[in-house]
């Protein structure tokens, strides 16, 4: 039996959690044997302002560190939500080999 890989892109939206749930219920519901589920999350890039753009803000190293910390918290939050969706999924168990 060939191994399957299913990639689901997730973000902080409820729509992406619905897409994950749909994938679990429709693509993995028959059997999870030989299937790898890959969750893909891409952190948004930090804002970049041109030095010519007078409406932008100049960020010092503290502000940049704060943005990095926020991005990491956001990524962890998304993965925690996805884990909750997965834990509520009840797949058919593979027969023992």
d(CA 31, CA 51): 55
For residue 85, what are the CA distances in angstroms to 8, 19, 48, 77, 88? 13, 10, 34, 13, 5
Q: What pTM value is reported for the model?
A: 0.70
For residue 79, what are the CA distances in angstroms to 38, 73, 76? 11, 10, 5
**Residue pLDDT, tens place only, 15-55:** 999 999 999 888 876 667 788 889 999 877 766 655 555 55
């Amino acid at each position: 039996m060939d191994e399957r890989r299913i990639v689901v892109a997730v973000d902080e939206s409820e729509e992406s959690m619905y897409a994950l749930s749909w994938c679990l219920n429709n693509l993995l519901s028959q059997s999870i044997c030989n299937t790898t589920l890959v969750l893909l999350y891409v952190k948004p890039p930090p804002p970049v302002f041109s030095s010519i753009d007078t409406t932008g803000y100049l960020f010092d190293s503290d502000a940049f560190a704060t943005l990095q910390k926020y991005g990491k918290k956001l990524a962890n939050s998304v993965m925690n939500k996805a884990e909750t969706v997965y834990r509520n999924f009840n797949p058919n168990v593979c027969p023992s080999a």
